Structure 1
Amino acid sequence: MTESRGPLDGVKVVACSTAQAGTVPYVLMADLGAEVIKIELPGVGDPSRTTSQLPGLPSTYFETNNRGVKSLTLNLKAAEGREILYQLVREADVFGQNFRPGAAEKNGFGYEDLKKINPKIVYVSISGYGPRGPHAMLPGTDAMAQALGGIAEAYSAPGQPLKTGIVSVADETCAILAFGGIMAGLYCAKTTGVGQKIDTSLLGGQIRLMGWTLTTAMWKDENPVTGQARIMGTAERPAISASFNDRDGKPFVLQMGGREWNKAMSALGFEAEMTAKGFDDLGVAVTSAERREAMLKTLDGLFATGSRDKWVEILRQADIVSAPINTLLEASNDPDVLANAYVTEVEYPKHGKTLKVHGSPWHFSETPAKIGIAPELGEHNDAILKSLGYSKIRIQELRDKNVI
């Protein structure tokens, strides 16, 4: 049986990218069938190859961010190394880099350099702050973008200092937006024959991630109310998104509009007490901070009388949105996550193990994604160079000269 091809089969990518935001866009493309050639420094490779390396296992960081790609080692400071890069770019659809601003141009593979070689190239540049502004030339990291982009407030508590989170939200958001930008760039190049440079940044991704909550803050010119609940809208059209703990301290979330309030309270068995305290209408929580806090305190006490599973099931049966608040490990074992293969298993022959990994966030009915593993350093040197016409003797010469 012929193996199904991914939706990006035939697309070729050359990526001089490291870390997370600069590599995940191309992992997503590799999952979907694109040929992705990762350029690494001979003998050294991407520094993240040893990041978060567990005993007897590959680096979780490198594996997650580089699976399914090919590794070619090139010394881009050598003329022969740059020539190989240029040959690859001539045949490529996409080129990606996330070096410190100015480094690619200094070393001969900026956009102006590469578009002379391939006018249809979609050139992707990922930076920390964006291509303009007072700090455009500074390096950037996930923590820096979380700090500047406002996400710390999303999970803050009143009276507590803002903190960045342990998950690389800025890196991943930027990567996913870069992936979308690449798809748009590829479509434009295909329909017009013209390539272009696409700039995106860690900071830009975080600002987009703040969505309508940022719009509301800007229009009101005040920060949102933080804590366990978002109570939104007006007294006439209120809505709530809030978290509560059960009798064992296990957290869960619910979200509903004012029209669903009485149905939810009735299903939970809370209607009598809530009505007695004047909370038969969700809209009263919008009228003042005092009423909001009193309502939440009452619900805290009621939810502390039962189990999380019970409350979530009751609310779902009443067609109210509710879910447990999972830890990372709980999320990896969530029945919906597993059923949709958002987490899947991959065999690692070198380590003699089958391990859980990220699946694909997409389901393609005709061209399904295929999950690979990360390459060894320089694993594809010979195959790639042979495809460019290099002989075994010439490849060995390049290896001896530390070009590859």
Structure 2
Amino acid sequence: MEERSDDADRAGPLSGVMVLDLSRVLAGPYATMMLAELGARVVKVEAPGVGDDSRQIGPFKEGESAYFASINRGKESIALDLKAAGDRVIFEALLARADVLVENFRPGVMARLGYGWEVLRARHPRLVYAAASGFGQTGPEAARPAYDMIVQAMGGVMSVTGHEGGPPTRVGTSIGDITAGLFTVIGVQAALWHRERTGVGQLVDVAMLDCQIAILENAIARYAVSGVAPGPLGARHPSITPFAAYACADGHIVIAAGNDGLWATLLGVLGAETLANDARFLSNALRTEHAELVAEALEARLRERPCAHWLAVLEAAGVPCGPLQDVAQALNHPQVRARNMVIGTAFPGGAPLLAAGNPVKLSAHADPATRPPAPVLDGDRAAILAELGL
């Protein structure tokens, strides 16, 4: 699609790529936000009158959703009813110019509207069509609706989260949606590269449940070897010890002594060298088998001094460690700020808003401290229609 005059502000490796975004809430919008961060132009197609569901999800400031604003920054908005003849004309004009279409409806919705993959691939063979859904486009449960909580539960992630004997615990961020969004970005980029070589687009089919399975890593390895489904372990690593949160005099710190050399160094810092000769702690496998005893032995020394003391001496000795920070502390950490991971954007109405920056730093492209605001519902309609000659 022809580049707009503001494209210079969006320079990135995907500059010149036009994304037609029919998605809503989080998985799809997160994917298109990342595509926008990488330079793509994203035109968000929303339902007339109400827009993306997340416009009604808090927290709110002056009646506007911070949730929506943070995930939809830098996009354009046009409201279209895809069942109305006039709006279908506009949508089809956009389709003719788009490089990528992203949607996260349940399978079958786009086909019923006349815009399923088979129809669009015939009309627009270069189009990359990305469908992010709860369960994917195939399989016996493809048509089921899903939210983040459902796939966290079904995908096994909740079974290894929390503490043994505790209630079911959701991961504290929406990893069901966000991992689906990230895998969608990977799929879109791969499909665009394939198109660059072949001239042909393709369907990118990403299921939230699939993505939860994909990130189980160590849990799958343990099940494959033992035949026993792993359970929750609180804050500790299932296969490396010491690798957990440990109590000091005034709170907890995380220590990750991932090999025998670091274990020895840790014992030296703590003045607990005698533990090096304990038969139960002679290897990582033995320490992991006796992880509770390791924690008791280490905390007997750690509780003698405050967190700040231990962090300082452990860092000086080269033992990987870190403070247990809340969100406010994390956002204000000097390293986070130095990496431009807290950026400024704005609500659709213009009020300023802090948001997470882009973790992908590219040497050939700028990483500005601010991003364009999220769009007003249908706020770009006039400009888009003029561009299309309608």
Q: Same fold (TM over 0.5)?
A: yes
Q: Secondary structure at the match of 1:331?
A: helix
Alignment of 1:362-401 (within 5 A): 362-369=360-367, 371-390=371-390
Q: 1:134-176 CA deviation, whole Å, 9 max, x = no partner? A: 2211111000011111222333212223321331111111101
Q: Secondary structure at the match of 1:133?
A: coil
Residues in 2 aligned to 1:244 and 1:179: alpha-carbon distance in whole angstroms: 37
> Contact conserved, 1:228 with 1:244, CA < 8 A, in 2?
no
Q: Structure 1 pair 309/302, CA: closer, same or farther in 2 (3 Å)?
A: same
> Contact conserved, 1:255 with 1:320, CA < 8 A, in 2?
yes
Matched with 2:104 is: 98
Distance apart, 1:334 and its partner CA: 2.0
1:197 aligns with one of 198, 203, 228: 203
Q: Which amino acid counterpart does residue 160 of structure 2 have in structure 1? A: A
Q: Which amino acid counterpart does residue 244 of structure 2 have in structure 1? A: A
Residues in 1 aligned to 2:348 and 2:92: alpha-carbon distance in whole angstroms: 34
Residues in 2 aligned to 1:283 and 1:5: alpha-carbon distance in whole angstroms: 48
Residues in 2 aligned to 1:178 and 1:310: alpha-carbon distance in whole angstroms: 44
Q: Which amino acid counterpart does residue 292 of structure 1 have in structure 2? A: A
Alignment of 1:94-133 (within 5 A): 94-133=100-139
Distance apart, 1:350 and its partner CA: 4.2
Matched with 2:286 is: 285
Distance apart, 1:257 and its partner CA: 1.1
Residues in 2 aligned to 1:112 and 1:94: alpha-carbon distance in whole angstroms: 15
Alignment of 1:28-177 (within 5 A): 28-56=34-62, 58-177=64-183
Residues in 2 aligned to 1:380 and 1:164: alpha-carbon distance in whole angstroms: 38
1:229 aligns with 2:236: yes
Q: Which amino acid counterpart does residue 264 of structure 2 have in structure 1? A: N
Matched with 1:301 is: 300
Unaligned runs of 5+ in 2: 1-7
Residues in 1 aligned to 2:288 and 2:108: alpha-carbon distance in whole angstroms: 53
Q: Structure 1 pair 79/277, CA: closer, same or farther in 2 (3 Å)?
A: same
Q: 1:173-217 CA deviation, whole Å, 9 max, x = no partner? A: 110111111100110011101111010011111111112332232
Residues in 2 aligned to 1:3 and 1:69: alpha-carbon distance in whole angstroms: 13
Unaligned runs of 5+ in 1: 233-237, 391-404
Residues in 2 aligned to 1:153 and 1:324: alpha-carbon distance in whole angstroms: 26
- Deviating more after overlay: 110-119 vs 9-18: 110-119
1:10 aligns with one of 7, 16, 33: 16
- Tell me how large the CA RMSD over aligned residues is: 2.2
Identity %: 31
Q: Which amino acid counterpart does residue 368 of structure 1 have in structure 2? A: A
Q: Structure 1 pair 68/202, CA: closer, same or farther in 2 (3 Å)?
A: same
Q: Which runs of 4+ in 1 moved over 4 A?
A: 275-280, 347-352
Q: 1:265-287 CA deviation, whole Å, 9 max, x = no partner? A: 10232324x35865663447348
Residues in 2 aligned to 1:159 and 1:349: alpha-carbon distance in whole angstroms: 45
Q: Which amino acid counterpart does residue 69 of structure 2 have in structure 1? A: E
- Deviating more after overlay: 216-225 vs 375-384: 216-225
Q: 1:290-336 CA deviation, whole Å, 9 max, x = no partner? A: x4322221222222222222222222222221112222222212221
> Contact conserved, 1:126 with 1:201, CA < 8 A, in 2?
yes
Aligned residues: 380
Q: Structure 1 pair 140/255, CA: closer, same or farther in 2 (3 Å)?
A: farther
Q: Structure 1 pair 98/302, CA: closer, same or farther in 2 (3 Å)?
A: same
> Contact conserved, 2:251 with 2:306, CA < 8 A, in 1?
no
Q: Structure 1 pair 325/154, CA: closer, same or farther in 2 (3 Å)?
A: farther
Q: Structure 1 pair 141/285, CA: closer, same or farther in 2 (3 Å)?
A: same
Matched with 2:271 is: 269
Alignment of 1:172-183 (within 5 A): 172-183=178-189
Matched with 2:32 is: 26
Q: Structure 1 pair 303/124, CA: closer, same or farther in 2 (3 Å)?
A: same
Q: Structure 1 pair 132/255, CA: closer, same or farther in 2 (3 Å)?
A: farther
Matched with 1:259 is: 261
Q: Which amino acid counterpart does residue 263 of structure 1 have in structure 2? A: T
> Contact conserved, 1:32 with 1:369, CA < 8 A, in 2?
no
TM-score by length of 1: 0.87
Distance apart, 1:31 and its partner CA: 1.6
Q: Structure 1 pair 349/71, CA: closer, same or farther in 2 (3 Å)?
A: closer
Q: Which amino acid counterpart does residue 375 of structure 2 have in structure 1? A: P
Residues in 2 aligned to 1:218 and 1:78: alpha-carbon distance in whole angstroms: 52
> Contact conserved, 2:22 with 2:45, CA < 8 A, in 1?
yes
Matched with 2:4 is: none
Distance apart, 1:24 and its partner CA: 0.9
- Deviating more after overlay: 210-219 vs 116-125: 210-219
Q: Secondary structure at the match of 1:88?
A: helix
Q: Structure 1 pair 187/164, CA: closer, same or farther in 2 (3 Å)?
A: same
Residues in 2 aligned to 1:296 and 1:58: alpha-carbon distance in whole angstroms: 47
> Contact conserved, 1:122 with 1:198, CA < 8 A, in 2?
yes
Q: Secondary structure at the match of 1:230?
A: coil
Residues in 2 aligned to 1:283 and 1:33: alpha-carbon distance in whole angstroms: 45
Matched with 1:341 is: 340
Residues in 2 aligned to 1:140 and 1:257: alpha-carbon distance in whole angstroms: 41
Q: Structure 1 pair 296/118, CA: closer, same or farther in 2 (3 Å)?
A: same
